[in-house]
Structure 1
C-alpha cells in the first residue's frame, strides 16, 4: 500500500488548471489526484526516453557488429570450399 502525504492546497494558474482538465479528459479520470499522477508519470516517462533510446542504439550497434562478423565468417568459409 502506498503511503500518502496530504497536500491541502496549492496555487495553480488558470492555464495549469486547463491543462489538468485536459489530462483528466484524455485519461478518463474524474478526480484531480489521479490526473496529477498520470501527468507526473508521463513527465518521468518522457524524460527517460533519451536514455532508453541511447541504450537501444548501443544494443543495435552491437547487434550490427555481430551480424557483420557473421557475414565475414560465412564469406571466408564459403570461399574455402
Structure 2
C-alpha cells in the first residue's frame, strides 16, 4: 500500500469485510509498540455509556505506556493511598 500526499490509504476489501467496516463507520488508529492498529469505534447509546467508552478508549491507547521505575505495583498503589 502507498500513502497519498494527504496521508490517506485505502483499506483493503477483505479487511473492511472482516471488521464490518462500511461507509460511515468510525475507525481510529491506536499506536502500540511502534505499530498503528486500526480499530472500529463502536457506537454507544446513552451518555453514561459514552463516558465509559471514552475512558476505556483512553486506557487502551495508553496501555503499557507508564513506567513505575523501580517501584512495584503494590508500592505504587500504597503511594496513591497515602
Q: Give the number of the structure whose residues are more often helix, by fraction.
A: 1
> Normalization by structure 1: what TM-score?
0.30
When Rg is computed on C-alpha atoms for both structures, the one with the higher figure is 1
> Normalization by structure 2: what TM-score?
0.30
Q: Give the number of the structure whose residues are more often strand, by fraction.
A: 2
